Amino acid sequence: MAYLATALQSFFTDYVHAQRNLSDNTIASYRDTWRLLIKHVCATTATSADRIRLEDIDRDEVTAFLDHLVNERANSAATRNARLIAFRVLVAHILPDHPEHAETIRRILTIPPAKTAKPLISYLNEDETEALLAAPDTGTWTGRRDQMMLALVINTGLRISELIGLANTSIHTGTSPYVECQGKGRKHRATPISAKTRDQMRVYLTERNCRPGSALFPGPHGNELSRDAIERWLAIHVRTAAESCPSIGAKHVTMHTLRHTTAMNLLHAGVDITVIALWLGHEQTSTTDVYLHADMATKKAALEKTRPPEVLPGTYTPDPGILTWLEAL
């Protein structure tokens, strides 16, 4: 008889950290998945958490839990699929040590992911970007910090996790300015910054270095800002920006929206999609193809190349007398 608790302790202490060295976000996702499942099993059966056996976690139990996430917790299909991945990783890891549960594990591994819709990405246009950068109150230290933070993200497309991890020494403001960060999957990468952003950063660092801590964008006590704090400040600045640019108020703007904005700015500037993938730290260029789908200008340009010679270029405009013509039909 093998207990789930023993398998989980081995998984999180040995495999996750020592063997795979997974990121903190991935570990937290796996942890939360199993914590939710254990609570679900305890609530639906008479079994205590420490007495749950490996054979209790079968395909029917996992499927019931996934249905619980969707129907009772109102989780999205993407969240359901993320939880399913956490199950697959653990059961695949314990299979060599528990061949007696091979059939149960095989059936769990055959649970299909839910189909998910892929909405078009949201990004800021030029006017919305300018309004957002003008929103922070630069008469205060917090406002100057936030303006520099937003400008850097829009210039580089850093993920929020990468942004949080930046230190004062991560920025290089020499003749070829760039920012160093530890990207997704613990990959180290360097991203260039514009001359304008470099000049702004030099001024910012002069003030930042007089304050405690080493985080590039610190909180009140010099420690790095949390993910929630950054998103909360962003929401405040978006509301301020909406006063002068109403269109930004109609969008759901997150820090990842600014990353999308970087990609679309590069795409509109004619940068090749493979270069954009490298810029953003994508392992596969297919991940970056979403920006091609969202870019209406690129689609119009492609359509223009198929225009017959006798058709005038540009967007179709109906004849001024079209209403008269329709009424005469």
Give the structural domain span for 15: 4-109
Give the pLDDT score at 323: 65
- The reply to whether 15 belongs to the active site is no
Other beta carbons within 10 angstroms of residue 218's beta carbon come to 18
- The reply to whether 184 belongs to the active site is yes
Maximum Cα interatomic distance, the chain, rounded to a whole number of Å: 85
Q: Are residues 61 and 148 in the same domain?
A: no
184, 211, 251, 268: the catalytic one is 184
pLDDT along the chain (329 residues), means of 10: 85 84 84 93 89 90 94 92 93 89 91 81 92 96 96 94 92 92 78 94 94 92 92 96 95 93 88 85 71 62 61 62 65
Backbone angles phi, psi at 224, to 5 degrees: -65, 145
- The reply to whether 239 belongs to the active site is no
Give the pLDDT score at 121: 82
The residue out of 44, 75, 109 marking a domain boundary is: 109
Q: Are residues 49 and 172 in the same domain?
A: no
Residue type, 243: E
For residue 217, give the DSSP letter: S
Q: How far is CA 187 from the centre of its chain?
A: 16
Q: Are residues 135 and 19 in the same domain?
A: no
159, 198, 208, 237: the catalytic one is 159
Q: Are residues 101 and 140 in the same domain?
A: no
Residue 254 domain-assigned (yes or no): yes
Residue 240 domain-assigned (yes or no): yes
Q: What is the pTM of this model?
A: 0.70
Residue 114 domain-assigned (yes or no): no
Residue 158 domain-assigned (yes or no): yes
Torsion of CA 196, 201, 204, 206, to 10 degrees: -120
The residue out of 109, 143, 176 marking a domain boundary is: 109
Residue 317 domain-assigned (yes or no): no
- Domain count within the chain: 2
- The reply to whether 251 belongs to the active site is no
Give the pLDDT score at 301: 58
- CATH number at 240 reads 1.10.443.10
Q: Are residues 250 and 191 in the same domain?
A: yes
* Dihedral (CA of 59, 60, 66, 67) sign: positive
CA–CA–CA angle 170, 263, 197 (5° rounding): 40
Taking only the tens place, the pLDDT of each residue in 173-229 is 988 999 998 877 667 888 999 999 999 999 999 999 999 999 999 998 889 999 999
User: Is the CB of residue 118 less than 8 Å from the CB of residue 290?
Assistant: yes
Residue 75 domain-assigned (yes or no): yes
Give the pLDDT score at 180: 92
Give the pLDDT score at 234: 96
- The reply to whether 159 belongs to the active site is yes
The residue out of 52, 79, 109 marking a domain boundary is: 109
Backbone angles phi, psi at 96, to 5 degrees: -60, -30
Q: Are residues 22 and 140 in the same domain?
A: no
How many Å from the N-terminal Cα to the C-terminal Cα in the chain? Answer: 82
Residue 145 domain-assigned (yes or no): yes
Q: Are residues 150 and 93 in the same domain?
A: no
Give CA–CA dist 83/145, Å, rounded: 36
